[in-house]
Amino acid sequence: MSYTQKTDRLLMKQSNQRMVLQIIQGSGPISRRDIAQQSGLSPAAVSGITAGLIESGLVQEVGETEESGRAGRRAILLRLNPQAGFVVGVKLAMHSIDCVVTDLDATVLHSTSAPLAFSAAPDDIRARYAPDEMIRMTIAAVEQILAAAAIPPEQILGIGIGVNGIVDAALGVCRSAPHFGWREVALAAPIAARFGIPVSLENDSRTLAIAEQWFGAGRGVDHFVGISVGYGIGSGIVSNGRVYRGAHGGAGEFGHMALLPGGPLCTCGKRGCLEALAGERGILAAVAEALAQGEPSALAQAQPPTLDAVAAAADAGDALARRVLAEAGRWLGVGIANLINMLNPQRLVINGEVVRCGDWYFGPMRQSILASAFDGLADDLDIQIAPSGDIVWARGAACVVLSELFTAPIPRDN
């Protein structure tokens, strides 16, 4: 047998193992017979693969089916062993580095949030978020949570990192991160070298979509978009059941869709982007402008205003807060309608810091979507508002590692 033939057989074996593991993860507890039916593999092949997975500890037998199989024997059920390994998820946020350790079911076992210790002035973005310093602080944060979790290093299967901007996931390089002032920053390699563990880098909005696809509202949905709305606005796109990244890792950056020529300045340097109109920065800037013009509001007592303060003021009946949130929500609806017109998804899952603003924001958003989407495309669209919080983002990064573990190694589309 030639070297090429041996290599092809090894790759096929690995692909079949991943496929079986994915079926067990998604459908377990499940019998070997049903795995064979779903996978198209022979019963003998499934028996061999599952025997290896059981021996490795990734899969465990958990009982028998009620219905008898051949010769009147009951089929033994298999499921993923969630304690067979663990992963670390990291979210590089504007003011903190948030980490989690999860099991193979994406259950968060430990979490930490390390505030960023800035040495540069707030307006000096490149110095404030210097790549070498951020890498050092990320390594320190991972070391901290691994020590707290007290899990043997050999049981950590990988580290997932979510960061804003355009990410080349294959190379582990952040091509552009406007919020940090980064260009062509290699994040994955130095962190992987420090821990001796594979590191997966991904756009932060895409990490949330991957988490929803594998463990949340996107499970079993072939066409959906996960939308994150906070300091920035981004999206993760799942089309035909697969995550879509684009030619250079920039798919989903709809927060930089230019909607209002000459509008407010965005972090990307352009004006009138959706992010500057509907994101957290846009909301707070609109509040500050109205207060500067003398518009009465309880928010005049909260200097500088925060998103929590705006949401609370809206709940308390503050007219300025309600107006600003409604206007921002309408702009988000316009942007989402454009996504709907282009992608025609079955479901939208929206999360991020702005979730705390509730119906004062999302009511006008829904109205705007219905008014702006093309020819009924939004009429039966399922829109779900997901919980917010720092841990959600870090868990999403962990799910990037889990999705790679459970996905057969087939050529990746752009």
SS3 246: coil
**pLDDT < 70: residue spans in the chain:** 1-11, 66-73, 119-123, 408-414
Residue 290's H or E segment, with its range, is helix 280-292
pLDDT of residue 11: 64
Classify residue 196 as exposed, middle or buried by CB count within 10 Å of its CB (0-12, 13-18, 19+). Answer: exposed
Express each pLDDT in 200-221 by its tens digit: 999 999 999 999 998 889 988 9
Express each pLDDT in 173-200 by its tens digit: 999 998 899 999 999 999 999 999 999 9
Dihedral angle computed from the Cα positions of residues 297, 301, 307 and 313, in that order, rounded to the nearest 10 degrees: -40
pLDDT of residue 366: 97
Instruction: Find the farthest-apart pair of alpha carbons in the chain and give their distance in angstroms, rounded.
Output: 83
CA atoms of 182 and 166, how far apart (whole Å): 10
- Residue in the structure block whose two tokens are 């709907």: 340
CA atoms of 209 and 320, how far apart (whole Å): 33
Dihedral angle computed from the Cα positions of residues 188, 194, 195 and 201, in that order, rounded to the nearest 10 degrees: -10
Report residue 228: phi and psi, to 5°: -110, 130
CA atoms of 337 and 342, how far apart (whole Å): 9
Q: What is the pTM of this model?
A: 0.86
What are the distances in angstroms from CA 100 to CA 113, 402, 404?
9, 13, 18
pLDDT of residue 410: 41
CA atoms of 210 and 342, how far apart (whole Å): 20
DSSP 334: H
Q: Please give the single-letter amino acid code of residue 253.
A: E
Closest CA to 351 of 219, 206, 200: 206
What are the distances in angstroms from CA 177 to CA 86, 142, 226, 250?
28, 21, 19, 11
CB 274 within 8 A of CB 255: yes
CA atoms of 189 and 213, how far apart (whole Å): 27
Instruction: Output the six-digit token pair for 63.
Output: 């009982």
The phi-psi region of residue 235 (left if phi > 0; otherwise alpha if psi is between -120 and 50; otherwise beta) is: beta
CA atoms of 333 and 320, how far apart (whole Å): 20
pLDDT of residue 122: 64
Query: What Rg, from alpha-carbon coordinates, does the chain have?
Result: 23
Instruction: Output the six-digit token pair for 264.
Output: 């407010």
